[in-house]
Amino acid sequence: MVRLPRTTGSATLLLGAGFGLVAVSGAAILAAGPRILSHATFSGVSIAWVVSVVFGFGVATPTEQLISRRRNAGDHAHGRSPAYWLAVSAVVTMAGVAVVVGGTGAGHRYPLLGWSILAVLGWAVVSPRRGELLGCQALSAYAATMVLEGVCRIALVALAVVWRAPAATILGISIGLPILLSAGAAHILLGRRAASPASVGVAPGFEHVSFVAIALGYQISLNLPPIVLSWKVSEHDRDFVGAFVVANSWMRLPTILVGTITVSALVELSRVLPSGSVAAFRRVMWRSGAACLAIGVGGGLVCLVTAHPATSLLYGSRVRLPSYGFACLALSTVLAILCSWLSVPLMALRRSASAAWVWALGSALVAVTLVALPPDRIVTAGLVLPLIATTAFLSVAAMRRFRSWAEETQR
């Protein structure tokens, strides 16, 4: 019988604390900025934060996941490493930001956008090291680097609130400096870990592209609706866009905690794969699936019940979104969580390309649906219908790939 490298309760709690602190630290920047800076100055900080989030979760985090999968499965691959391609992406991104800041009107309007360069550099350094920690099953050490990032950022935001003179600079630094400090901690912790397992398999080609496509598809499903809505509402309803962004952010809170489950599941499934234990693989899937469903449904219900008072507190006035709109946001959050979970076994089974194609199709459905529907339908059917289709396709793909692997293993 294969014994699973199960995550301990303390590691899981620390992992949850890490994800939570990073999310809270980001919210602290966005909440404190408008209160201590002019709106024009804060715009640059907010854009720099968006650049960091998009690069971090759309490019760096998938690289981290890929390194983790390969180390745990013992795979080797020819050519350049994922860390190399992440570095190339970071250099291109930083150069693009530098050109925008130094050579365009946007740079004059949003000079603090330049601080995103520090954040992108931080992501390029920290993600390969975090991926290696996951490859060593060092979940507690991985979580500790996230806790350090969140605590440092909150401390810098607090310093900016107290020390108003250089507040803009401190807030700009708070985006990227904590990531670099986290990278230093990850490097130290990684030096104490054992070497990666011997190679037992060959990684498929273009796997890095597939991991990035999955992450971007997930972000599109969660965050494209507010962007499209901002283009389609009439001029006298522009205020509703900001209100909907607040509502969307509140109802997506359960997606933060799901990272605790999917990160652990990918580590465990990748470790189980070389052993060929179908029963162990199935146990990890059912356990992680039940946890994701509990977080999605339970968290969605809590957010739904508290939606009106919570969004009113955050927005400063009542958000004019009907109850069924909040319900659709909650349902779409649950569906997105299920899609994220269903992608994990495909990534672990070296079939990330299948998940990437489904997410590409799902992203196209999201875009077409949002463009075709009027604004009042975007906040209802537009949130749910594309994700229902994506969930169905991912379910079929995951089931087929698992059965194929199980049959090959049992021969």
| Sign of CA pseudo-dihedral 214, 98, 83, 133 | negative
- 219 and 256 co-located in one domain: yes
Q: Is 81 exposed, middle or buried (0-12, 13-18, 19+ CB in 10 A)?
A: middle
Q: Which of 148, 176, 195 is the last residue of a domain?
A: 195
Q: Which of 348, 409, 404 is nearest to 203 (CA)?
A: 348
Distance CA 157, CA 32 (A): 7
Q: Which of 167, 195, 223 is the last residue of a domain?
A: 195
- 170 and 311 co-located in one domain: no
- 223 and 156 co-located in one domain: no
> Helix 323-348 vs helix 352-372: angle between axes, to the nearest 10 degrees?
160
Q: Which of 195, 222, 257 is the last residue of a domain?
A: 195
Distance CA 382, CA 248 (A): 13
**Which pLDDT score is estimated for 46?**
78
Domain hosting residue 277, numbered range = 204-411
Distance CA 383, CA 378 (A): 6
Q: How many residues does the chain have?
A: 411
- 181 and 33 co-located in one domain: yes
CB 321 within 8 A of CB 375: no
- Those residues with Cβ within 8 angstroms of residue 401's Cβ, 6 or more apart along the chain or in another chain: 345, 346, 349, 351, 354
- 178 and 264 co-located in one domain: no
Distance CA 365, CA 386 (A): 6
Outline where 233-277 has alpha helix (H): 238-251, 254-272
- 154 and 265 co-located in one domain: no
Distance CA 226, CA 357 (A): 24
- 222 and 182 co-located in one domain: no
E-strand spans in 140-288?
201-202
- 90 and 182 co-located in one domain: yes
Domains in the chain: how many in total?
2
Coil vs helix vs strand at 380? coil
Question: End-to-end CA distance of the chain, in Å?
Answer: 18
DSSP state of 75: E
The one-digit pLDDT tens for each residue of the chain (411 residues) are 344 444 455 777 888 889 889 988 988 887 788 788 886 777 778 778 888 988 998 899 999 999 999 988 888 877 788 999 999 999 999 999 899 888 777 666 677 888 899 999 999 999 999 999 998 888 899 999 999 999 999 999 999 999 988 999 999 999 999 999 999 999 999 887 655 555 667 777 788 999 999 999 998 888 888 778 767 776 656 667 767 877 888 898 898 889 889 988 999 999 898 888 999 999 999 999 999 999 999 999 999 999 999 888 877 678 888 888 899 999 999 999 999 999 999 999 999 999 999 999 999 999 999 888 888 888 888 899 999 999 999 999 999 999 999 988 876
Distance CA 45, CA 170 (A): 10
- 226 and 366 co-located in one domain: yes
**Which pLDDT score is estimated for 217?**
92
Distance CA 215, CA 213 (A): 5
- The pTM score is 0.84
Distance CA 253, CA 355 (A): 24
- 128 and 261 co-located in one domain: no
**Which pLDDT score is estimated for 22?**
92
Distance CA 43, CA 135 (A): 38
- 14 and 76 co-located in one domain: yes
Q: Which of 407, 278, 269 is nearest to 349 (CA)?
A: 269
- 212 and 337 co-located in one domain: yes
